[in-house]
Chains A and B, each alone.
Chain A
Amino acid sequence: MQQVAAEAEARALERKFDIVVLVSMFLAILSGFHIHQMLTAGDWSFWIDWKDRMWWPVVAPIMDITFPAACQAILWTKFKAPIGATFSCAGLFFGQWMNRYWNFWGWAHYPLNFVFPETLLPQAIVLDGVLMITNNFVVTALIGGELWGWLFYPSNWPMIAPYHVPVEYYGQLMSVADLIQYEYIRTSTPEYIRMVETGTMRNFAGGVLGVSAFFSGFCSVIMYFIWWYFGYFFGWTKFIKHSKV
Chain B
Amino acid sequence: MAQATTQTVSISIPDKSAFSWKNLWIALAIITVFEIAVNVYERTFAFAKGLDYFTPDYQTYWMSILYTELILEPTTLIALCSWLWVTRDRAMENLAPAEELRRYWNLGLFVVVYTVLLYWGASYYTEQDGTWHQTVIRDTDFTPSHIIEFYQSYPIYIIAGVGSMVYAMTRLPQYAKAFSVPYAVLVGSPLMIFPNVGLNEFGHTRWFMEELFVAPLHWGFVMFGWGALAILGTWLQICPRVVELIKQVYYGKPATPPAVVLNDPEKATDPALCEV
Is A34 touching B122 in the complex (CB atoms < 8 A)? Answer: yes
B230 proximal to A (CB < 8 A): yes
Is A236 touching B177 in the complex (CB atoms < 8 A)? Answer: no
Q: At the interface with chain B, which of A10-18, A132-140, A162-170, A212-220?
A: A10-18
The 6 A-B pairs with the shortest beta carbon distances in the complex, nearest first, are A32-B228, A10-B250, A27-B115, A35-B225, A234-B229, A28-B231
Is B109 touching A193 in the complex (CB atoms < 8 A)? Answer: no
Is A107 touching B127 in the complex (CB atoms < 8 A)? Answer: no
Is A193 touching B123 in the complex (CB atoms < 8 A)? Answer: no
Which B residue's beta carbon lies closest to that of A185? B135
Contact with B along A68-111 (1 / 0, CB 8 A): 00110011001000000000000000011011001110011000
Is A36 touching B225 in the complex (CB atoms < 8 A)? Answer: yes
* Of B128, B134, B178, B226, the contact of A240 (CB 8 Å cutoff): B178
Q: At the interface with chain B, which of A39-47, A123-131, A151-159?
A: A39-47
A/B interface sample: 10 pairs, CB < 8 A: A17-B242, A27-B115, A31-B121, A67-B229, A102-B128, A103-B128, A187-B137, A188-B136, A234-B185, A237-B236
Q: How far is the CA of A89 from the CA of B219 in the complex (A)?
A: 20
Which A residue's beta carbon lies closest to that of B42? A107
Q: How far is the CA of A67 from the CA of B226 in the complex (A)?
A: 8
Question: Which residues of the other chain, A, contact B232 by a CB distance below 8 angstroms?
Answer: 25, 70-71, 74-75, 78, 231, 234-235
Is A40 touching B214 in the complex (CB atoms < 8 A)? Answer: yes
Q: A17-B108, A239-B180 are in contact. Are A188 and B213 (CB under 8 A)?
A: no
Q: How far is the CA of A236 from the CA of B250 in the complex (A)?
A: 29
Contact with A along B147-176 (1 / 0, CB 8 A): 000000000000000000000000000000
Is A43 touching B212 in the complex (CB atoms < 8 A)? Answer: yes
Is A32 touching B134 in the complex (CB atoms < 8 A)? Answer: no
Is B124 touching A99 in the complex (CB atoms < 8 A)? Answer: yes
A27 CB → nearest B CB, Å: 4
* Of A43, A75, A237, the contact of B213 (CB 8 Å cutoff): A43
Contact with B along A163-206 (1 / 0, CB 8 A): 00000000000000000000000111110010000000000000
Q: How far is the CA of A44 from the CA of B213 in the complex (A)?
A: 10
A183 CB → nearest B CB, Å: 14
- Please list the residues of chain B having a beta carbon within 8 angstroms of any beta carbon in chain A: 13, 16, 19, 21, 39, 42-43, 46, 101, 105, 108-109, 111-112, 114-116, 118-119, 121-124, 126-128, 130-138, 177-182, 185-186, 190, 193, 209-214, 218-219, 221-222, 225-233, 235-237, 239, 242-243, 246-247, 249-251, 265-266, 269, 271
Which B residue's beta carbon lies closest to that of A8? B250
Is A235 touching B236 in the complex (CB atoms < 8 A)? Answer: yes
Q: How far is the CA of A195 from the CA of B53 in the complex (A)?
A: 31
A89 CB → nearest B CB, Å: 14
Question: Which residues of the other chain, B, contact A230 by a CB distance below 8 angstroms?
Answer: 226, 229
Is A188 touching B233 in the complex (CB atoms < 8 A)? Answer: no
Question: Which residues of the other chain, B, contact A75 by a CB distance below 8 angstroms?
Answer: 232
B140 CB → nearest A CB, Å: 14
A233 CB → nearest B CB, Å: 8
Which B residue's beta carbon lies closest to that of A96? B127
| A-B pairs with beta carbons under 8 A, tally | 229
Question: Which residues of the other chain, B, contact A33 by a CB distance below 8 angstroms?
Answer: 225, 228
* Of B111, B123, B136, the contact of A31 (CB 8 Å cutoff): B123
Question: Which residues of the other chain, B, contact A108 by a CB distance below 8 angstroms?
Answer: 131-132, 135
Question: Which residues of the other chain, A, contact B21 by a CB distance below 8 angstroms?
Answer: 16
Which A residue's beta carbon lies closest to that of B46? A107
B190 CB → nearest A CB, Å: 7
Question: Which residues of the other chain, A, contact B233 by a CB distance below 8 angstroms?
Answer: 74, 234-237
6 further A-B pairs in the complex, CB-CB below 8 A; given A31-B228, A107-B42 = A6-B250, A13-B101, A35-B123, A43-B212, A43-B213, A234-B230
Question: Which residues of the other chain, B, contact A39 by a CB distance below 8 angstroms?
Answer: 213-214, 218-219, 221-222
* Of A28, A78, A102, A190, the contact of B228 (CB 8 Å cutoff): A28
Q: How far is the CA of A104 from the CA of B271 in the complex (A)?
A: 45
Is A9 touching B182 in the complex (CB atoms < 8 A)? Answer: no
Is A24 touching B127 in the complex (CB atoms < 8 A)? Answer: no
* Of A25, A186, A242, the contact of B134 (CB 8 Å cutoff): A186
Q: How far is the CA of A58 from the CA of B186 in the complex (A)?
A: 30
Question: Which residues of the other chain, A, contact B247 by a CB distance below 8 angstroms?
Answer: 10
Is A245 touching B108 in the complex (CB atoms < 8 A)? Answer: no
